[in-house]
Chains A and B, each alone.
Chain A
């Protein structure tokens, strides 16, 4: 059958090639139980698009890379490299803790970058009207935002630690690695969860009270740095004669709680240099593991406070009560 010769071969400019008019959507709308996951996924995608985030991630991986290189060096040239065996007898846990300790400041910076704008930017752009006019509860919204920061931070803490663990497992399993460190995997997972929980709760809480991500970030930076400086300074002044005392006071800050809980997870002691007036030289003082329960209580309180502060500020509309 030949085509009709009268029909034009190509559509003329006045003819749209597709129907651009409104068509009703009759497809399924799901009542998902994990509604918050949509928000988490979108926020993580936005974070991953920031070049600054990847720079911080690369820097945050350095401590584990350096420790891995040290382990490799020691296995190759035992005389040239320092002995990495900890005083407690477990060889690898102190290494993992030291790497975690080196990452702590980067966790804080990543929390600022990924978390300061979570709700503050939404407040500025009136985005809560968009969210809460959809079938999303305040709890879904808060959980979605919190999880986006938490998962980001936990991944940054966990991935390099797991890679280092894998390297140790592959290289030293014949030397009794698993036998000497049977709980190391659980310990590193536990320690990696701590910064995510604490940072994300506090930064999301502060972010909810601001319309400017910069202001929220500045407030959190102030809180984090001032509390750390004050806690360590007070501890240093009060116990300058014997730094092994007052371990708990040293951890009364956001950074201190994260470090203290991680220390509890890895079960390692710290060694800090202390100047001795008798010998007129610096000596290494061993600092015990801080008590778990007070730190856990403080951490839980900060987490709940942060989340409660955020929950109190999440409204679709500002209601002025007179």
Chain B
């Protein structure tokens, strides 16, 4: 079941088209939104929030039309923006409670809830400090707290680990994983950091030039076609690669003395085949292992596809 979807969505900024006839469904759970700069990730989030008016197409969040019922949509959503944002002159409790009231909570509920989410976000001790005095890491946490205060069913996290030190990043990723996997909140994480997505998300949507080029469960996308083997030679050897081709293999890529080989048919004994090819070409084999596709591989392949 999808929590949000867009259909034939086209968004233009003047003469530039940011999203072209985009159709995608955002499934339940934790979804990573990947893509290079200008791919349209932020535009997609802005359109679902009703910040940007599309030239054509439709969008829905939990069944509410994003163009016709933007306020209902926003009541279901929490946004943690990429850039620093706060209400000037307020301490953390007042700020988060105010965010709750803006979302429609009663003042009493909002205040109680502000204390809860600040504790959860790790700002319990600093809750009475003015937000302007917070460090970068604390500002990231308070952005998460204000997004969570009204109990949204869907959270948009835009670059949630920006500016965090390794320990802070670890804690933020832990929070995201906890919210999405243990607390049942649907989360969309937009990030350039592939390891962050890999750590937190189950599904991924890869965008390029305003279109979706790859989407699905990360576990499924990581599965390799045929038999793929990563090989390391002592020095790069073209005769070795030629010997592999002769034996029915395909060279997926070569970086220095490393290469990835694909065999469409299952290989009962890949080691034997590789040693034979090395012996035939005079190459020296340093090591080999079955390939495991990383998210980076999926991303790079998606970027290279025509």
Please list the residues of chain A having a beta carbon within 8 angstroms of any beta carbon in chain B: 20-32, 35, 38-39, 42, 46, 49, 117, 121-122, 124-127, 129-137, 315-317, 319-322
Please list the residues of chain B having a beta carbon within 8 angstroms of any beta carbon in chain A: 13-16, 46, 49, 51-52, 71-72, 74-75, 77-79, 81, 83-90, 98-99, 101-106, 109, 113, 116-117, 119-120, 124, 132, 146-151, 178-179, 182-185
Q: List 20 A-B contacts (CB under 8 A).
A: A22-B148, A24-B151, A24-B184, A27-B109, A27-B151, A30-B104, A30-B105, A46-B90, A122-B87, A124-B88, A125-B88, A127-B86, A130-B102, A133-B147, A134-B150, A135-B72, A316-B46, A317-B52, A319-B52, A321-B15
Q: Which residues of A contact B102 (CB under 8 A)?
A: 35, 38-39, 130-131, 134-136
Contact A130 B75 (CB under 8 A): no
Contact B113 A21 (CB under 8 A): no
8 Å CB contact of B87 from A24, A31, A125, A132: A125
Secondary structure dominating the interface of A: loop
Contact A26 B13 (CB under 8 A): no
Contact A29 B103 (CB under 8 A): yes
Q: Which residues of B contact A49 (CB under 8 A)?
A: 89
Write the chain B residue with the least CB distance to A38: B101
**Distance of B210 from chain A, by nearest CB (Å):** 14
8 Å CB contact of A319 from B13, B79, B113: B13
Q: How many A-B residue pairs have CB under 8 A?
A: 133
Q: Which residues of B contact A38 (CB under 8 A)?
A: 98, 101-102
8 Å CB contact of B99 from A30, A130, A137: A130
**Distance of B65 from chain A, by nearest CB (Å):** 15
Contact B120 A135 (CB under 8 A): no
Contact B49 A130 (CB under 8 A): no
Q: How far is the CA of A126 from the CA of B79 in the complex (A)?
A: 13
Write the chain B residue with the least CB distance to A130: B85
Q: Which residues of B contact A21 (CB under 8 A)?
A: 120, 178
Q: Which residues of A contact B101 (CB under 8 A)?
A: 38, 42
Q: How far is the CA of A225 from the CA of B148 in the complex (A)?
A: 46
Taking A35-B102, A126-B86 as known contacts, 20 extra A-B pairs with beta carbons closer than 8 A to each other, sorted by chain A number, are A22-B148, A25-B149, A31-B72, A31-B75, A42-B101, A121-B89, A125-B84, A125-B86, A125-B88, A130-B146, A131-B102, A132-B49, A132-B51, A133-B49, A133-B81, A134-B75, A135-B71, A317-B52, A319-B13, A322-B14
Contact B16 A22 (CB under 8 A): no
8 Å CB contact of B183 from A22, A125, A132: A22
8 Å CB contact of B117 from A22, A30, A136, A321: A22
Write the chain A residue with the least CB distance to B86: A125
Q: Which residues of A contact B182 (CB under 8 A)?
A: 22
Contact B71 A137 (CB under 8 A): yes
